[in-house]
């Protein structure tokens, strides 16, 4: 039995990660934090994780703890992290620990300035319709899913919505650098998008480093209509294989958008060329894990962006 302690459990990712780990039958999970909102308290209570008191209790940490995982707002001088360092315990940010939990799985990571949550949701929708099991991290809650994080023993695939914001106030590495994908999707690099990296060259560098952190013989799927992104693909590692995508052929009939493919055409619930590019990227990602085009297009027509709920934090 591994004991994992989650501290500064404020944001949705670390909260949902703690819940996901607690569902694995050879893990014991404890949590701590301050000023829990009512929704957090209710979730922790429902999953039997609500601590007796709020606050920090470093005296309760000991060398039998397998790992200490901290949330995005944790401070370096958090008393529990100070104690964990004194004991020599393994300490992880929540995004780093997601990699630890999925290191033996095929990881698909979707990054880029725009559209990554939609593509991630499309991939998960298709896998769910085809009864393919997957772990995941999604940037916004999805209808039909209780939490934004899922972990399991059964799945061989993990799908991550790869944000480029800092992992935490302590760990300044971009979140998507932590995941080391086997399959990466990059939707583009927008000059006016990032407040974390106001200098565009520094922002672009994060994507260059992300590509170089991919696993050996990785597959990179990228939007070829973005000049800055295309430039990064001109110097790929020799073991990486690149798949460019762009707006696929389409038709509009009676205000319904149809995407054309080798087997014909498929009516979609989404509209606009940006959405069609998301479909194309999701299809290419699914192909890398064994879902062929016929299977993909047999179900993607049921996808609607209504599945994506408004992000709460």
Question: Which of 94, 113, 138 is a domain's end point?
Answer: 94
Do residue 142 and residue 198 come from a single domain? yes
Whether residue 99 is contained in a domain is answered as no
Residues 89-112: tens digit of each pLDDT: 999 999 999 999 999 999 999 999
pLDDT band at 207 (very low <50, low <70, confident <90, very high): very high
Least confident span in 7-11, 179-183, 219-223, 274-278 = 7-11
Whether 42 and 166 share a structural domain: no
| 63 and 116, same domain (yes or no) | no
137 & 85 share domain: no
Task: Give, to the nearest 10 degrees, the angle between helix 12-22 and helix 94-102.
Answer: 30
In a domain, 90, yes or no: yes
Query: Could you tell me if 21 and 121 lie in one domain?
Result: no
Output the pLDDT for position 141.
Answer: 84
Q: How many domains does the chain have?
A: 2
CA distance 106 to 86: 35
Residue 313 lies in a domain: no
Last residue of a domain, one of 44, 74, 94: 94
Does residue 301 surpass a pLDDT of 90? yes
Q: How far apart are CA 96 and CA 170, in angstroms?
A: 12
pLDDT in tens, 50-60: 999 999 999 99
What's 67's domain CATH number? 3.40.50.720
Q: Assess whether pLDDT exceeds 70 at residue 77.
A: yes
Q: Say if 235 falls within a structural domain.
A: yes
- Domain check: are 205 and 303 in the same one? yes
Give the span between the Cα atoms of 180 and 214, in whole angstroms: 5
Domain check: are 64 and 157 in the same one?
A: no
CATH of the domain at 123: 3.40.1190.10
SS3 of the chain: helix, strand, coil, percent, to 5? 35, 20, 45
**Same domain, yes or no, for 50 and 156?**
no
Whether 109 and 256 share a structural domain: yes
Q: Which domain holds residue 17?
A: 2-94
Residue 310 pLDDT class (50, 70, 90 cuts): low
Whether 220 and 187 have beta carbons less than 8 Å apart is answered as no
How many whole angstroms separate alpha carbon 50 and alpha carbon 42? Answer: 8
| CA 203/CA 253 separation, integer angstroms | 40
The answer to whether residue 312 scores a pLDDT higher than 50 is: no
Mean per-residue pLDDT over the chain, rounded = 94
* Same domain assignment for residues 78 and 108: no
- List, in sequence order, the alpha helices (H) in 233-310: 273-287, 293-299
Same domain, 49 and 121: no
Same domain, yes or no: 227 and 258: yes
Tell me: the pLDDT tens digits for 152-174? 999 999 999 999 999 888 999 99
| Phi (first) and psi of residue 298, to 5 degrees | -75, -15
Check pLDDT > 90 for residue 196: no
Count of CA atoms in the C-beta half-sphere (13 A) of 229? 24
Q: How far apart are CA 111 and CA 126, in angstroms?
A: 19
pLDDT at 194: 74
What confidence tier does 311 reach under pLDDT thresholds 50, 70, 90?
low
Does residue 22 sit in helix, strand or coil?
helix
């Amino acid at each position: 039995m591994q004991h994992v302690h989650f501290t500064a459990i404020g944001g949705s990712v670390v909260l949902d990660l703690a819940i996901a780990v607690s569902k694995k039958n050879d893990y014991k999970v404890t949590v701590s934090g301050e000023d829990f909102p009512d929704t957090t308290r209710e979730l922790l209570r429902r999953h039997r994780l609500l601590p007796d008191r709020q606050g920090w209790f470093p005296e309760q940490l000991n060398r039998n703890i397998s790992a200490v995982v901290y949330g995005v707002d944790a401070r370096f001088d958090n008393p529990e992290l100070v104690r964990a360092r004194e004991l020599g315990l393994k300490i992880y940010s929540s995004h780093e620990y997601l990699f630890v939990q999925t290191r033996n799985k095929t990881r698909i990571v979707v990054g880029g300035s725009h559209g990554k949550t939609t593509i991630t949701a499309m991939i998960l929708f298709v896998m769910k319709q085809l009864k393919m099991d997957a772990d995941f991290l999604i940037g916004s809650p999805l209808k039909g899913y209780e939490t934004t994080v899922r972990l399991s023993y059964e799945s061989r695939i993990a799908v991550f919505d790869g944000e480029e914001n800092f992992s935490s106030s302590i760990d300044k590495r971009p979140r998507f650098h932590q995941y080391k994908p086997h399959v990466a999707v990059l939707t583009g690099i927008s000059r006016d998008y990032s407040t974390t990296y106001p200098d565009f060259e520094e922002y672009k560098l994060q994507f260059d480093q992300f590509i170089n952190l991919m696993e050996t013989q990785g597959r990179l799927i990228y939007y070829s209509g973005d000049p800055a992104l295309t430039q990064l693909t001109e110097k790929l590692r020799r073991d990486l294989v690149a798949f460019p995508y762009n707006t696929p052929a389409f038709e509009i009939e009676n205000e319904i958008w149809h995407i054309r493919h080798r087997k014909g055409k498929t009516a979609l619930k989404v509209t606009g060329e940006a959405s069609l590019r998301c479909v194309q990227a999701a299809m290419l990602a699914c192909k890398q894990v064994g879902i062929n085009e016929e299977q993909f297009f047999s179900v993607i027509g049921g996808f609607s962006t209504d599945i994506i709920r408004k992000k709460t934090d």
